[in-house]
A = this chain, B = another copy of it.
Amino acid sequence: MVKDKLIGIDLGGTTVKFAIMTADGEIQQKWSIKTNILDDGNHIVPDVIASVNHHLDLYQLDKERVIGIGMGTPGTVNQEDGTVQGAFNLNWREPRAVRAEIEAGTGFTVTIDNDANSAALGEQWRGAGDNEPEVAFLTLGTGVGGGLIHEGKLIHGTAGAAGEVGHVVVEPYGYQCTCGNQGCLEQYASATGVVHLAHDLADAYMGDSKLKKMLDDGDEVTSKIVFDLAKENDFLANEVVDKVAYYLGLATANLANTLNPSKIVIGGGVSAAGTFLLERVQKEFANFAFKTTRDVTELRLAQLGNDAGAYGAASLALQTAAAQNAND
């Protein structure tokens, strides 16, 4: 029987998303379950295994047709032994043999990578990356994550820390970062970073602004509110957006100066601000990118939304199968 189906899993702190797709990445079935992080997250892997097996039965999909399983996960993935550690939002404090457990429970070859890398690969394969070989990805959420694709594959680096674009320093000795350093991109371009910038710029601003009034009144301000007010021509909100765009432009340009990708894809919650943000980032990017790369590197918004992780996970499974075939 021809193996022609991929299973992509996106493991998150709230839900686990599953997709069955063709080898070309057409989703045929998708479903999700809640992530049960109780009891040190001990239920998570068994729940994933049971859900995969149950749905293969439900859809009457012959196991022989499955190429493999890919999964994106929080935490740090050890590619050699397939363990995951430091996935705090899953309550996994100690390293877990995730790959081996899922392989044993399903009978399939399993490939795992971290969630930002998985989303990066998804966008490269089936989203804004147009399946081009050199693509960089940034995700702007509560933090800033990233993934780098070279010759169609993820760059992991020596300790799996390649693509940590959230910790590229864009303002030396700037805002304190949770990583211990100062001035990391994450502190300026994440949802909390945007709000932090809003507070700081509001302190120095004396003019008329709804954003300023909200901050002064102690109202809860989110990055979405900042962008919405900027679209309504609030002066202070626009100052904040310009500053966010400056830092993103600097970081993406230096990424381009270093790796010369054809596309840099920006996703995550903050990127929901859409072309309103992207156009300003592009302007700053053009100031900082070396001519050769400025001409060939395109900034784009992510296209797959919450499905990026499952697509990328399926792509991981496909790449593992291709590597095995090449070795056979």
19 example contacts (A-B, Cβ-Cβ < 8 A) are as follows: A134-B157, A134-B158, A150-B155, A157-B261, A158-B260, A158-B293, A160-B260, A161-B290, A161-B292, A162-B258, A162-B259, A164-B292, A165-B257, A168-B258, A169-B250, A172-B250, A181-B290, A184-B290, A258-B259
Question: What residues of B have a CB within 8 angstroms of the CB of A180 in the complex?
Answer: 291
Q: Which A positions have Cβ atoms within 8 angstroms of B? A: 76, 132, 134, 148, 150, 155-165, 167-169, 172, 179-181, 184, 246, 250, 253-255, 257-262, 287-293, 295-297
Q: A255-B258, A257-B169, A258-B165 are in contact. Are A158 and B296 (CB under 8 A)?
A: yes
| B258–A163 CB distance below 8 A | yes
Residues of chain B within 8 A (CB-CB) of A291 are 179-180
Question: Which chain B positions have C-beta within 8 A of A157?
Answer: 134, 259-261, 293
CB distance A262 to B168 under 8 Å?
A: no
Q: Specify which chain B residues have a CB less than 8 angstroms from the CB of A255 in the assembled complex.
A: 258
A261 touches B169 (CB 8 A): no
Q: Chain B CB within 10 Å — which of A181, A257, A288 has the most?
A: A257
Assembly CA distance A169 to B293 (angstroms): 13
A156 surroundings in chain B (CB, below 8 A): 260
**Residue of B at shortest CB range from A247?**
B172
CA of A184 to CA of B290, assembled, Å: 9
Q: Is the CB of A181 within 8 A of B288?
A: yes
Q: Do residues A297 and B158 form an inter-chain contact, with CB atoms below 8 A? A: yes
Q: Is the CB of B162 within 8 A of A254?
A: no
A127 to B181, CA, bound (A): 31
B161 in contact with A293 (CB, 8 Å): yes
Does A257 contact B172, Cβ atoms closer than 8 Å? no
Among residues of B, the one whose C-beta sits closest to the C-beta of A263 is B158
Nearest B residue to A326 by beta-carbon distance?
Answer: B326
State the CA gap A155–B257 with chains docked (Å).
Answer: 12
Q: Compute how far the CA of A134 lies from the CA of B148 in the bound complex, rounded to whole angstroms.
A: 14
- Measured between beta carbons, the chain B residues less than 8 angstroms from A167 are 257, 290
The 6 tightest CB contacts between A and B, nearest first, are A157-B260, A161-B292, A167-B290, A162-B260, A161-B260, A158-B262
Which one of A76, A164, A255, A258 has the highest number of Cβ atoms from chain B below 10 Å of its Cβ? A258
Q: Which residue of B lies closest to A146 (CB)?
A: B258
Known A157-B260, A161-B290, A259-B162; judge A253-B169 contact (CB<8 A). Answer: yes
A85 vs B32: C-alpha distance in the bound complex, in angstroms?
54
A290 touches B260 (CB 8 A): no
Name the one of B162, B164, B254 contacting A169, with C-beta atoms under 8 angstroms.
B254
A163 shortest CB reach to chain B, Å: 7
Complex contacts, A158 vs chain B, CB 8 Å: 132, 134, 260-262, 293, 296-297
Taking the closest CB of chain B, its distance from the CB of A87, in whole angstroms, is 15
**Inside 8 A of A150's CB, which chain B residues have their CB?**
150, 155
Considering the chains assembled together, what is the distance between the CA atoms of A159 and B293 in angstroms? Answer: 7
Contact A258 B164 (CB under 8 A): yes
Which chain B positions have C-beta within 8 A of A253? 169
> Does A295 lie within 8 Å of B164, measured CB to CB?
no
